[in-house]
Amino acid sequence: MEKADIIIIGGGLVGLTQALALANHGISCHVVDRADPEAMLAHDFDGRTSAISSSSMKMFEAIGLGDALEGKGCPIEQIWVSDGLKRGSLDFVPGAEDGYLGQMFENRLIRRCLYEAAKANEAIHLHMPVHILSKTRNAAGVTVELDNGKTLSADLMVVAEGRQSTTRDEAGIKIIHWQYNHSAMVGAVFHEKPHQNIAYEIFYPSGPFAVLPMLDSADGRHRSAIVWSVDEADAPGYMKLSERGYAAEVEKAMGGLLGQIEMAAPLSTYKLGFHHAGSITAERLVLIGDSAHGIHPIAGQGLNLGLRDVAALAEVLVDGMRLGLDLGDAQLLERYSRWRSVDTLMVAMSTDGLNRLFGIPGKAASAIRRFGMSLVQRTRPAKAFFMAEARGESGALPKLLKGVAV
């Protein structure tokens, strides 16, 4: 039997970040995932990107990834929001002393940096690809039996499996969930005009359309990521279009903001939904990331919300270790639950409400939205609040999100 302090189920972006955050503070981890690292670390850009808030970036730097990620992300220096193309608009521009709002990264680059750092860390034991045959949790600890013949043991099981978490379901944790009857189309485009590090969020009655700045390609072409939400009945028709036909639709939806459009990466689609776990802890078990909550991508905060879980759990467990507590102690899990439950629910409901508000059709609803946007545009404290939310700097921040070791 191989013993470590923590077993992390799931070796994606959130799971590997959790392992590094803990290992850098002396807590050893087993990381278990059924995915093949070779597939995860493919060199070709697959169209998947993430907006990393400035606070999340501070955590990456604090756990030793600063040099590896340096220069690989595109700064977001301004966010431009509009109700359709020709209606009210709102722009968020931080002061020169405040720095950028976040950075856009290709997921594959973050994955590679995390994986290589985890592989090089003696306190992290990677088990990939493997399948789990059984899991046990009791007062004495947790064990996981793998299909390669190994049995792992630890004091606590951290679940980072994603939205369809079997471990969460096996633990009997119920989730609140609903579907939006919309699908998100995700990809990247080349465009004629430079984006000037501006992120665009255009709200249509059929769903929001986000254009997010990326670094220019190796051959100097301007690029942006897109996340386009449409009625789920319309998504299959869009996905059947040729690259040229789809690029023409994107150019139309953007209203020519960035000139002529060409596709820059494979296009993927997924159905949009909301879920929130009724509890994020159980006996010797903790949920983080999408295993605990799944929100609408309207504000690009899904991954950042999971990284806030990581930072909070790392601080709770490191504090417990220093006090000599069992890392599966119910007091520690309760502290984590109190810290994260309110924040995640507020962010989740805010994004849900925003999506529903901008989805209401009609001139009256549009007039109300334009009034609200103009009010925020003229009110400096309101704009400062929204920019702090975009940076991930609101609320009771864990130390790692401030760039400080726990």
pLDDT given for residue 178 in this prediction: 76
pLDDT at 375: 47
Contact 224, 191 (CB under 8 A): yes
Low-confidence ranges of the chain (pLDDT < 50): 364-365, 368, 371, 373, 375-376, 378, 381-383, 385
Phi, psi of 330 (to 5 degrees): -60, -30
pLDDT at 384: 53
pLDDT tens digit string along 166-214? 999 999 999 988 777 889 999 999 999 999 999 998 888 788 899 999 9
Whether the CB-CB separation of 31 and 127 falls below 8 Å is answered with yes
CATH topology assigned to domain 2-71+106-177+274-361+392-402: FAD/NAD(P)-binding domain (3.50.50)
CA atoms within 13 A on the CB side of 328: 21
